[in-house]
Amino acid sequence: MNKTNNEELTFIENTMPHTDEDQPALMSEKNVLEALNFHRSFPQYEVTPLHKLTNYAQYLGLKEIYVKDESYRFGLNAFKVLGGSFAMAKYISQKTGIPVSELPYKVLSSKRFKDKIGQTTFYTATDGNHGRGVAWAANKLGQKAVIRMPRGSSPTRLNNIRKEHAIATIQDLNYDECVRFADDEAKKDPNGVMIQDTAWRGYTDIPSWIMQGYGTLSIEADRQMIVDGCDCPTHIFIQAGVGSLAGSVAGYFSEKYKDNKPVICVVEAGAANCIYRSAKRGDGKMVRVRGKLDTIMAGLSCGEPCSLGWYILKNKADGFAGAPDWMSAMGTRIYGVPLDGDPQIISGESGSVTMGFLYSIMMYKRYEWIKKALKLNKKSRVLLVSTEGNTDPVRFREVVWTGLYGIRHRGEEEIK
């Protein structure tokens, strides 16, 4: 079993040789705009907030800190629906030969169109957020969904999925085993389609569409920063489970700002640090982390990297970190109790880890070398993504009310 609460922060700079497998064009502005326009067709669509933490940035010794708050996305409390919904539309587009630009929500959700294309059952594995997004989208489009969840999944997240009329169960499997289980079921179903945000040999189209769907949050944040006077962030800290979101964000900003690429750091749960270990290997090949992958960061508890995301990250990310659970819990508390004048952000354990990481490397002497390696200073403009809100109320209360994974006795010595 991997240790979590007592695990130390790990970090490595990217020293891997660049390869011809670089795929940022997957996240070109043209491709991302296609996804954005699709999402705009939903009546529930609204641009999620980009919070500016002015006083906190000054406190840490930075110029600006922006936080893209995905707890407002489609009323589902997490960003994941962006990927699953767009992948469904692209699958239907491929099946019918109709361009996705001609398949807005109004068309896809109509009874006439459903009767024309027939019934599809979308399968997936999830810790909660992705499955809820797939179930919600399938429900809105009049299709079916079957959702499999790994051991230890939150009953609240299970119930939220079932509220979308999906078949959902918790299996006695870890996340990666659950993916294979759901994929086997989809293959046996004549009308089954696997909608998963990780790629493997022979399964790349749908994960690529999911990554493009995630691009909606990147292009929104990009435009929001420009309106605020920030032409481009100098730094992006993005969390990773399988790495599809991280690859999506890194791909978009690397492609958009080729001549002025932000410093990009990927932050994982230390107990499920497959991206970090792949980077540490040094030759560009992926590494799998096996076992129970015990961490409070359920959305990041993944042991096998997404190959498409990894192809981008190994070429475009500047650093890779594995964060202990206490760092995520601290991030949740920092978001929830902001400095006077800064907005409060409700961020779950997977959403808050980059905040805890940023605080730690800016404030603790033992991590000052990471701050220097990432070239953080008073001119830095940092972008974070809070990928989820309070999606597991019981765990959230344990973190915020009773101090689960606190650091009171760790003896950390602050610089300031």
Residues with active-site annotation: 80, 127
207 closest CA partner among 80, 315, 306, 103: 306
The rounded distance, in Å, linking the Cα atoms of 363 and 345 is 21
The rounded distance, in Å, linking the Cα atoms of 149 and 128 is 7
Query: What's the number of CA atoms in the CB half-sphere (13 Å) around residue 293?
Result: 29
Indicate the pairing of strand 381-386 with strand 235-239. parallel
The rounded distance, in Å, linking the Cα atoms of 317 and 266 is 7
Provide the residue type at 57 as one letter: A
The rounded distance, in Å, linking the Cα atoms of 345 and 402 is 19
Contacts with 126 (C-beta within 8 Å, 6 or more apart), sequence order? 132, 134, 147, 148, 149, 161
Q: For residue 231, count other CB atoms closer than 10 A to its CB.
A: 10
The rounded distance, in Å, linking the Cα atoms of 410 and 413 is 9
What region does 79 belong to: left with phi over 0, alpha with psi -120 to 50, or beta? alpha
Contacts with 300 (C-beta within 8 Å, 6 or more apart), sequence order? 239, 240, 241, 268, 269, 272, 350, 353
